[in-house]
Copies of this chain bind each other. A is one copy, B any other.
């Protein structure tokens, strides 16, 4: 039914991943379609990006709430979260770059609830003595999953290789000792 629309969304994600400043024309031709057609589905560039972001927030929130609900210690919950988040984060890595720039404000607003959830998890870890407190929870969570996105961004070839590295790195910067971090990252796909 909306096969074209879906293809545009998928292709837009890939194209914007390569170059966050790509225009509608670039996205259109990459989707094997004419620019006019894109405007037929999305009245404006902002609409396209907003739709993309909403999809991303939806998927990520689902993963996070699921991982957070498991009554594991914060360290394990985080490890599970990152492992499950990885494929999604990898797909939507462009959002990190998109938070700045023209539509930064709109995207920031959509990402807000997710940020809060994330900060909550980190806070839980800090209160439980599992995570370090060299930074406040909200900032620490941002920096940590910023690093995850950065690793995802440097891994253009969709390797599952990065999942372990991202988990370990983020756990390390959350203050989890290296031995425990590698252990937590170990029992995963």
Residues of A within 8 A of B (CB): 20-21, 97, 100-102, 132, 134-135, 139, 142-143, 146-147, 150-151, 154, 164-165, 168-169, 172-173, 175, 177-178, 182
Contact B21 A132 (CB under 8 A): no
Pairwise interchain contact B135-A165, C-beta atoms closer than 8 A:
yes
| Complex interface: chain B residues within 8 A of A172 (CB) | 132, 134, 172-173, 175
Q: How far is the CB of A74 from chain B (nearest CB, A)?
A: 16
Contacts of A139 in B (CB 8 A): 151, 154
Q: Please classify the interface of chain A as helix (H, G, I), strand (E, B), loop, or mixed, using the class held by over half of its residues.
A: helix
Chain B residues with CB below 8 A from A165, complex form: 134-135
Write the nearest CB–CB distance from A100 to chain B, whole angstroms: 6
CB A169 to nearest CB in B, in angstroms, measures 6
Find A154's partner among B100, B142, B147, B169 (CB 8 Å cutoff): B142
